[in-house]
Structure 1
Amino acid sequence: MAPKVLYTTRISPAGRAVEITAKILGLELDIKFVDLAKREHLTEEFLKMNPLHTIPVIIDEGVPLYDSHAIIIYLVSKYAKDDKLYPKDLVTQARINAMLHLESGVLFARLRGLLEPIFYKGCAELPQDKMDGIYNAYDLVEGSLQSDYLVGNSLTLADISCCT
């Protein structure tokens, strides 16, 4: 099986979620680092793979896929030997999906709001209100725990995505 090509950055939580999922599945990745500071994600070549110019992007069998949640669900659906990471039970899937949406809509959104001014505008301080927003978001996650895992009693895509 040819390795999948993953376009990511070293600091991307979403990229790490894809890397971890692939590693758990025993998949080989050819990792290509995208330099956001050099705006490599806005090149014509990159935009052909992902018109939204976001990372990560994975190329599997010549097909580009983007959005970390779409990618990890795809990888598990296609390559997993069992359904432990994303069980076929619809209620469990709905709970995992809810956590994936929480991760992208709340956790990552708040982290991005904190870090973008540092990375792209040269700000040197972490605003306390932004830090408080992140702490509050993780308090929500922690408050929903009913076991050591976010959904059920074993590792799922929810844990991988929310903990990267």
Structure 2
Amino acid sequence: MSSIKLYYYPVSGPARIALMAARLVGVPLQIEIVDLMKREQFSEAYLKINPQHCVPTLDDDGFILSESRAIACYLADKYGTDDSIYPKDIKKRAIHPIIFNIETEIKENLRDDFNASLSVLDKYLENNEWVAGEHITIADTTIFASMSGIFAAGWDLSYFPNIQRWLKNCSNLPGYEEIKEGAKIYGDLVKKNLKQ
């Protein structure tokens, strides 16, 4: 297998999605840190790889891909040993995205919207061990990696017992510790920002 490079920054939620998907699939990666705080995404060398200057970016032997969920799907399709983590059946792999934007002040309507999304996820997890059913899929890694920063910021999950159980299960996923580290940095930045 040729060297697969993932241009990555641990604070980036999308980058954590790509990394966790790769760990789940078991693809060996060469991690290339692109320090967004130092604006390394605008370096001449990086712009040649990704003119959109974002992370993550995957370089699979010259094939460049730069959207986290597309990277996750690509890795699962190309390197997955079976279709359990990314089912071929499109009905089984449908993912309901949960999107939340943090501001310096989390307004009540945003908090309510996000909690409503969490309620849907919690209700679904009532009868399922994982997000897309009985088996772990990239849906779990995508949702966990993208929301891990929010959880690390101290979001109150006391009303969501099924999400709490799911998060405990996620702690056994490949790449969990790497994701947790980046999420903690992100969560600390959010908490600091909200205190101002």
**TM class, shorter-length:** 0.7 to 0.9
1:103-118 matches, cutoff 5 A: 103=98, 106=99, 110=100, 113-114=101-102
Give the alignment's TM-score, normalised by structure 2.
0.64
- Name the aligned partner's letter for residue 118 of structure 2: Y
Aligned length: 143
Q: Confirm or deny: 8 A CA contact 2:21 2:142 kept in the other structure.
A: no
Residues 43 and 159 from structure 1, CA distance in 2 versus in 1: closer, same or farther, beyond 3 angstroms? same
For the aligned residues, what is the CA RMSD? 2.1
- Give distance in 1, aligned partners of 2:43 and 2:111: 33
**Match among 118, 128, 145 for residue 138 of structure 1:** 118
The aligned residue for residue 21 of structure 1 is: 21
- Give distance in 2, aligned partners of 1:161 and 1:21: 7
Deviation at 1:155, TM superposition (A): 0.5
- Give distance in 1, aligned partners of 2:50 and 2:116: 32
What do residues 15-63 of structure 1 show as CA deviations (whole Å, max 9, x unaligned)? 2222222222222111111111221122333233223322111110112
- Give distance in 1, aligned partners of 2:139 and 2:130: 9
The aligned residue for residue 83 of structure 1 is: 83
Deviation at 1:14, TM superposition (A): 2.1
Q: Confirm or deny: 8 A CA contact 1:3 1:27 kept in the other structure.
A: no
> Which 10-residue stretch deviates more, 154-163 or 142-151?
142-151
The aligned residue for residue 127 of structure 1 is: 106
The aligned residue for residue 52 of structure 1 is: 52
Residues 131 and 90 from structure 1, CA distance in 2 versus in 1: closer, same or farther, beyond 3 angstroms? closer
- Name the aligned partner's letter for residue 77 of structure 2: S
- Give distance in 2, aligned partners of 1:40 and 1:132: 36
> Which 10-residue stretch deviates more, 40-49 or 127-136?
127-136
Which aligned runs of 4 or more in structure 1 are off by greater than 4 angstroms?
A: 130-133
Q: Confirm or deny: 8 A CA contact 2:9 2:33 kept in the other structure.
A: yes
What do residues 77-134 of structure 1 show as CA deviations (whole Å, max 9, x unaligned)? 11111000111112113x2xx33xx14xx2xxx2xx31xx6xxxxxxx6535355544
Deviation at 1:157, TM superposition (A): 1.0
Please say if 1:11 is aligned against 2:11. Answer: yes
Structure having greater relative contact order (Cα 8 Å, sep ≥ 6): 2
Sequence identity percentage: 31
Give the alignment's TM-score, normalised by structure 1.
0.75
- Give distance in 2, aligned partners of 1:7 and 1:143: 35
The aligned residue for residue 189 of structure 2 is: none
The aligned residue for residue 154 of structure 1 is: 135
Give the secondary structure class of the aligned counterpart of 2:21: helix
> Which 10-residue stretch deviates more, 132-141 or 151-160?
132-141
> Which 10-residue stretch deviates more, 71-80 or 12-21?
12-21
Give the secondary structure class of the aligned counterpart of 2:86: coil
- Give distance in 2, aligned partners of 1:33 and 1:137: 32
Give the secondary structure class of the aligned counterpart of 2:53: coil
